[in-house]
Structure 1
Amino acid sequence: MRGEALGHLAVRQGANVRFAKTSRILADLAGGHADRTWAKRIRELVRPDVLIRDDFAMRQLTAAQADDLYELVSERQGRSLIITSNRAPSDWYPLFPNPVVAESLLDRLINTSHQVIMNGPSFQPNKHPKSHTDKPPIS
């Protein structure tokens, strides 16, 4: 939700914005390797004034995914990139299979960014079903 709100603000100020979950971006780029449209797909991700990648670092990456992220960040250098994550940046390194790619990519992300750390309860509605112990007693 935080990334979407920043995207809405950027749109209101006239920016071209693209918002997508990181997993969806990676799947799209993987499809580009399969059908030989990778260059076109990466250009589409570089084009917007602001690219918002939601849910970054949710799971370990494959070597191909890490390479795609590296290329995307490299191509967008100097352009606005917003990343939301539930993990601290220091926890991102082990998710990359190649420490050299991790260091290079994360150095570009972390050392050239403004970080906003938000702590507190989630703004996501609680969608978990209540357990049977949460039911009021029957009289």
Structure 2
Amino acid sequence: MQRGAVQTTGASSIAYQAILQSHKVQYLETDDFFHRYALNSPAQREVRLRTIIDCDLLVLDDLFLARAIPDDAGTLLQTLIHQRYKLRRSVIVTSNRVVQDWGAYLGDNTMSTTILDRLMHHCHLLEFDGRSYRLKEAAEALARETNSN
């Protein structure tokens, strides 16, 4: 990659292309979003929730990255997914956690089933198995540095 070039992968590339086609996109790094949302006033939460529900494409990136989510985040996630499902709005979820473990991360197997039921109905599930591109890039950079010395 050239210096100064912007690298996008997966969900962020799809979000970017949607924006270029004039779609309204909300891209959320989920751990950060859940924590920030909890700090908002009820009025701010309602405005934020409406924006997320009404957009054309919602990207929930790195869901359960930290494994534990704030207590109310499971209910918020269920609300987002349910409302967008009823409106037939697109959702992209990225996670390095297997769906069988989502109940443990949410602390509620029934809620997990409800969320997954709506996400997986009419979905395209892409599962990747392989090395992290970040680790690959770091190894390549280290090799270049070692070879130049």
TM-score normalised by structure 1 residue count: 0.79
Separation in structure 2 between the aligned mates of residue 112 and residue 26 of structure 1, nearest angstrom: 26
**Corresponding position of 1:81:** 91
Is 1:43 aligned with 2:59? no
Unaligned runs of 5+ in 2: 1-8
Is the helix fraction higher in 1 or 2?
Answer: 2
Comparing 76-85 with 55-64, which one deviates more in the overlay? Answer: 55-64
Number of residue-to-residue matches in the alignment: 130
Contact between 2:31 and 2:64, CA under 8 Å: does it hold in 1? no
**Corresponding position of 2:15:** 7
Map 1:63-74; keep pairs closer than 5 Å. Answer: 63-74=71-82
- Structure 1 SS opposite 2:132: coil
Q: Could you tell me how far 1:63 is from its partner in structure 2?
A: 3.2
Q: Could you tell me how far 1:8 is from its partner in structure 2?
A: 1.5
TM-score normalised by structure 2 residue count: 0.74
**Corresponding position of 2:37:** 29
Cα distance per residue 1:8-65 (max 9 Å; x no partner): 2222333121212011221232123xx2222111012112211111101221234311
Root mean square deviation, CA, Å: 2.4
User: Which amino acid letter does the alignment assign opposite residue 116 of structure 1?
Assistant: L
Unaligned runs of 5+ in 1: none
- Structure 2 SS opposite 1:15: coil
**Corresponding position of 2:103:** 93
Q: Could you tell me how far 1:82 is from its partner in structure 2?
A: 0.5
Is 1:18 aligned with 2:60? no
Separation in structure 1 between the aligned mates of residue 111 and residue 28 of structure 2, nearest angstrom: 23
